[in-house]
Amino acid sequence: MGADEFSLLADNAAEAGLSWSGPPAVTRREVALPDGRALRAIVWGQGPAELVLLHGGSQNAHTWDTVALALGRPLVALDLPGHGLSDWRDDHDYTVEHGADDVAVAIEALAPAAAVVVGMSLGGLTSVALAARHPEAVRRLVLVDVTPGVNAEKAKAIIDFVSGPEYFTSFDEILERTVKFNPTRSEASLRRGIVHNATALPDGRWSWRWDPHRGPSRERILDSSRLWDAIEGIKVPLLLVRGGDSPVVDDDDVAELVRRNPQARVAVVAGAGHSIQGDRPLELAALLEAEQAAAAG
């Protein structure tokens, strides 16, 4: 996308009521994966990264922009495989286990000393798999509105949105659909999101940046119950941040999380749906700041 992909950060700050003294130190980085693909990331700040942020399905690293601005800390926001600017898999197999292996490579390259891994939705499930498969990469874990109890029924609104047309005749058409499915968000924030998450094709049509083909991994993504055992095995501090208005995590999920991992803590962000980082970014940033402070402790 080039340097101009950061030109909207002042708008993020203004909408959130954050002070703005000029563009922050932020760059694009690329990490080569063993099979020749590349995972791409946004690196915030100039010191060693203190947090790693993993977005949800059909999102990208820019979903964290306002949170990152509010934190003002060195961190890395990754584009998951098949999302944002990261390469697509030839086999379109985006199970969280594959994603965790890729993320582990990126963390080793870009954030080896990060104290906190934060995963939202698909990124949260990926981070659970990461903690199980690469425990050295996770010193503290924050799950944003997701548990292994998520299923197609709870995620219906999300599935309906991402299962829409693969191509759109114009930017306005893609914006109209996005506004319809996100009635609590400002049009300005959704417009910024589309700029980062969609691309104009040579024939004038628009399409999303994520790989719409999920191949054999679709059902395994929608049924993540196998990851409950991984939750049980997590030995590092674990925080679940739940959106107060989200249907994706219910009371039974919270009870199972605490049963499996009695040391887990739960915070509820009132007025937030599934994408807490978009609905209530400052509240989420405050929770992450507390986690970072506890880790530094």
Return all residues near 135 (Cβ < 8 A) that are at least 6 apart. 235, 236
Average pLDDT value over all residues in the chain: 94
More confident residue, 159 or 244: 244
274 is catalytic: yes
pLDDT digits (tens, 9 = 90+) for 234-264: 999 999 999 999 999 999 999 999 999 999 9
**Residue 220 banded pLDDT, cuts 50, 70, 90:** low
Q: What is the pLDDT of residue 288?
A: 98
Three-class secondary structure of residue 43 per DSSP: strand
Query: Residues 8, 193: contact at Cβ < 8 Å?
Result: no
Residue 187: is its pLDDT beyond 70? yes
Residue 54: is its pLDDT beyond 60? yes
Annotated catalytic residue within 65, 101, 145, 253 = 145
Residue 171 is inside which H or E element, if any? helix 171-181
Residue 227: is its pLDDT beyond 80? yes
Residue 210: is its pLDDT beyond 70? yes
CA gyration radius, the chain: 18
Residue 221: is its pLDDT beyond 70? no
Pairing type for strands 141-144 and 167-168 reads unpaired
List Cβ<8 Å contacts ≥24 apart for 68-71. 68/26, 68/42, 68/44, 69/9, 69/12, 69/13, 69/16, 69/18, 69/24, 70/16, 70/18, 70/281, 70/282, 70/285, 70/286, 71/285, 71/288, 71/289, 71/292
Q: What is the pLDDT of residue 100?
A: 98
Average pLDDT of the residues in 34-59: 97
d(CA 292, CA 297): 8
Nearest to 224 by CA among 160, 163, 273, 152: 152
Annotated catalytic residue within 121, 127, 246, 275 = 121
d(CA 157, CA 252): 20
253 is catalytic: no
Structure tokens at 87: 């390469």
Average pLDDT of the residues in 121-145: 98
d(CA 15, CA 204): 30
Annotated catalytic residue within 58, 83, 274, 275 = 274
Q: What is the pLDDT of residue 217?
A: 60
Give the chain's end-to-end CA distance (angstroms, integer). 38
Query: Residues 39, 33: contact at Cβ < 8 Å?
Result: yes
Q: What is the pLDDT of residue 152?
A: 83
98 is catalytic: no
Structural domains of the chain sorted by starting position, each given as residue range(s) with its CATH number in brackets: 3-296 (3.40.50.1820)
